[in-house]
Structure 1
Amino acid sequence: MKLPRSYFNYISYLGTITALIAWFAIIFFIIQINFFALENVYFDLYAYIVTPAFLVIGLVLIPVGMYLKGRKIKKGLIISDDKLLIINLRDPKTRNGIFIFSIVTVFFIIFTIIGSYKGFHYTESVEFCGKLCHKVMDPEYTAYQHSPHAKVRCAECHVGEGADFYVKSKMSGMRQVYKYILGTYPRPIETPIANLRPARETCEKCHWPQKFYTNKIRNEKYFLSDSANTEWDLIMKMRIGADHSSLGNTEGIHWHINPKVEIEYVADNKRQSVPWVKYKDKSTGKEYIFTDNDTANVPKPDSLKKMEHRIMDCMDCHNR
């Protein structure tokens, strides 16, 4: 089986070697992951992201080298009897080249689909978020493992459903990787997160406002700072919803997430100081504005228009 003469050049050689090494590396990592059940976050990274990238680079270098070699042949810089860009199926070299190219392309497409699928799920995994960037996310990952949401994947809240926020999260992730490599990321991670997806599109997928209980008993265990570290139980009865289901979300601590109610507010960068709040009843259109008792803290009308107006959601209370 003979290959076209244009293949024989250093660039195509480099591409072939790179693609072959990447190919065998992918097979090696996949075998380690699936047959030996090795739980190493970096194996997934190399198997589904790093080595496929080198495979693509290698496969691209092969035709690039052939194209450059073909141009030299056409210009007469290389003595050759080959006719450039003429496909002659009677020529065994041409048939062999097309056959090899077709087989490689089919396998490449198949493994690209599989790799893309695996890579997508890997970048959505808890291990990718919590372990790969362990230096950055170690405090958050530790807290997450001991939280009520320990069984919920990070991406379900930080990304959510749909391709639009998936793309936004990965674009933001590229910037975060850049800062991670240079070591310029903030320590600790700044809060609140400015570009977090609205809670109505994430939190309320599980915590339905229509399913809140009327009252809930909460038992918090503390230990006093005396010499015996005396145990102290704090039992609280929390009124979450209305006493009667017919009242909907008009009462209780979650009345503000009633679909007929909108709470809009203005705050500082840390959302600790809230000098201006607007309550809107969507059913009647009535609006009520509440401001800080200290008029010095209340922004002027011109400044108020330029400030960020945020619609109150779950994270304003449950991320303290």
Structure 2
Amino acid sequence: MTIVRQPTRAGVRDAAAKVAQILPFSPLFVHELDGVPIAFKAECLQPIGAFKLRGAWHRLTALDENVRARGVVAFSSGNHAQGIAWAAKRLGMPATIVMPADAPRAKRESTLALGAEIVSYDRATESRELIAARLAEARGAALVPSFDDPWVIEGQGSAGVEAAQQMAERGLGAPARAVVPCGGGGLAAGIALALPDAAITIVEPEGWDDMRRSLEAGWIEPVGPNPPPTACDALQTLRVSPLTFEVLANHDAHGVAVSEAEIRAAQRWAAEKLRLVVEPGGAVALAALLARRIKPAERTLVILSGGNVDLDSYAAVLGGEIAVAREPA
């Protein structure tokens, strides 16, 4: 029987120490909602524009030299792709990313600029997991999924370690609640491990709120048939993993869903109030607070998880127009 390693709080602390050796803390902004100071962790200002380099760095640095020489294969619509490409380049590893043909242009171009090879696939007719697994086997490379991996989960949790220190330094106290965007749940699970005393609220787009339904049911529920289009390409996960679900369920996390209109409003608010560019998937946690699906309260931490936008779509959002939503995977 194969024993699957579990992500741990100690692993999160190790990951945070690793990340701190190569990167400064991402900024923490404070802004009042209903007169209550709310902390916003700006992962959108990371070198790749998203938190994903945290898990990528922790995972790839855990590989031995022989495996590193054969490279890494990952599958992603863009942010995990860039995280893997960034970490692989820094470590001198070849990287191959399986990306949907309709991935946002900005994410695709950034992944290529970091030196990765891209293998395209059709979301509607092909399995990215199968393509990536075959490539990794053929090349003897390490296969690194975007959330279903203990090292990746621990790496993402380093954002919570940083935020707790930053909030303490600002006199805000320890985080009592963390509101986190959720696709596969890697970031949310990592934050839950990093902040064991904080309530965790995961946020997903309407129709893609499978983690919310899974937590309520007590078992994993996949996204239903014919899910609606969403601008949140980074959160289009059809089924969460047992690893992330178990961490969040054990932490007694709960979830909410937000509409596409609420997400666009959050992107505009972030631009106006925080002077930050936030992509749709990165804005869902903020959207939940602005829509009062979560009541603003002291010692609340909100993760702005990414800022990689297609400029035309983002301009439409800022102009109050409806940006083109992406078809379901």
Normalization by structure 2: what TM-score? 0.22
Normalization by structure 1: what TM-score? 0.22
Name which structure has the greater RCO, CA cutoff 8 Å, separation 6+. 2
Structure with the greater alpha carbon radius of gyration? 1
Higher share in strand: 2
Higher share in helix: 1
